[in-house]
Structure 1
């Protein structure tokens, strides 16, 4: 994604924020660490290198989560659009297992 396209995409997605001095962007925030871990797992399974920030801090004291903004999911710039699509699918329930699911 070139600089102009990136700026246009970021303007259309104001919740996505770049980490200063890095090629990483915050694509989601979760107040519950387990939900962040689930979302990260969906991103990684889709081939997106996603990392969690502040997950361990939130797990040690959940009362800090609202004050610190929750657990952040970070992805590189070239995966922003793909990550947004995966997270939208997760929110829609595309990855939910139904009651008939039987693990192998």
Structure 2
């Protein structure tokens, strides 16, 4: 259900252009942890990504829909690469298998 809401919240990249900056809105998530996870994947892939409104949404999750969720912003010159990383994330390419070694002792 949240995936459908996230898709509804997503606009066109041009609509997400912030005045006076080269940051574009890549995606929106109602759950801050999901946005943080995607941001981490973007940064690991070399895309400088920042979260907007994460702290505000975390103060009261019931306000998340009214605020539009947490926005992931990327520089305009990295938009194509960021979209490819987001699509790979949505396909599950970053998922760890059951036998993944995560460093537990």
Classify the TM-score, shorter chain.
0.7 to 0.9
TM-score, structure 2 normalization: 0.83
Aligned residues: 92
- The residue number in structure 1 matching 2:68 is 69
Runs of 4+ in 1 over 6 A off after TM superposition: none
How far the C-alpha of 1:15 sits from its partner, in A, is 2.8
Unaligned runs of 5+ in 1: 1-13
- The residue number in structure 2 matching 1:26 is 25
Unaligned runs of 5+ in 2: 1-10
- The residue number in structure 1 matching 2:92 is 93
Determine the C-alpha separation between the residues in 1 that align with 2:59 and 2:12.
26
Tell me the secondary structure at the aligned position of residue 101 of structure 1: coil
TM-score, structure 1 normalization: 0.84
